[in-house]
Amino acid sequence: MAKARGRGKPVRRRDKKGGPGSNRRKPCQHCRDKVEQVDYKDVASLKKFISEKGKIRSRRITGSCRRHQVQIARAVKRARELALLPYVNEGGREDSPRRERGDRER
C-alpha cells in the first residue's frame, strides 16, 4: 500500500524552528550587546558592515535594527570622511579595461 503524504497535522508557522532556508531574522548585534551608540572610531566592527566594493550593506544582509542601521551608516560615512575607512576598496577591477560611456561591446 502506498504512503499517504501530507495527511498529518499541518505545521503551524509559530511551531517552525529556524533551519536552513528559514525566514527567521537575525537579532541585531548591537541590541544584543546593549550598545547605545555606534562608534565611528571602531573600524574593525564597521568593516563587517561594508561590502568588498566598499558599499554599506543593507539591514536585510546585516540583521541590524532600523535604529542601529542608521547609526552604522552615519558612523561609516564619518569614518570615511576622517580617512579611517576607504570610500572604495582597492583591487578587483584593475585587470578589466576601462571603457568610456559610449563604448559598449556589441
C-alpha cell at 30: 548591537
Q: Which of 57, 50, 59, 33 is nearest to 89 (CA)?
A: 50
pLDDT at residue 81 is higher than 90: yes
Query: Would you give the DSSP letter of residue 18?
Result: P
Instruction: Detail the DSSP E strand segments found in the chain.
Output: none
Mean pLDDT of the chain: 82
Distance CA 41, CA 95 (A): 33
Whether the model clears a pTM of 0.85, i.e. scores above it, the answer is no
Domain locations along the chain: 29-81
Q: Each residue of 57-77: pLDDT tens digit?
A: 999 999 999 999 999 999 999
The answer to whether the beta carbons of residues 43 and 79 sit under 8 Å apart is: yes
Q: How far is CA 38 from CA 17, 26, 31, 70, in A?
A: 31, 18, 11, 10
3-state secondary structure of 68: helix
Determine the distance from the C-alpha atom of residue 74 to the mean position of all C-alpha atoms in its chain, rounded to a whole number: 15
Q: How much is the pLDDT for 103?
A: 66
Q: How much is the pLDDT for 23?
A: 75
Q: Each residue of 1-31: pLDDT tens digit?
A: 666 666 677 666 666 565 666 677 778 999 9
pLDDT level of residue 89 (50, 70, 90 thresholds): confident
The answer to whether the beta carbons of residues 53 and 20 sit under 8 Å apart is: no
CATH superfamily of 29-81: Ribosomal protein S18 (4.10.640.10)
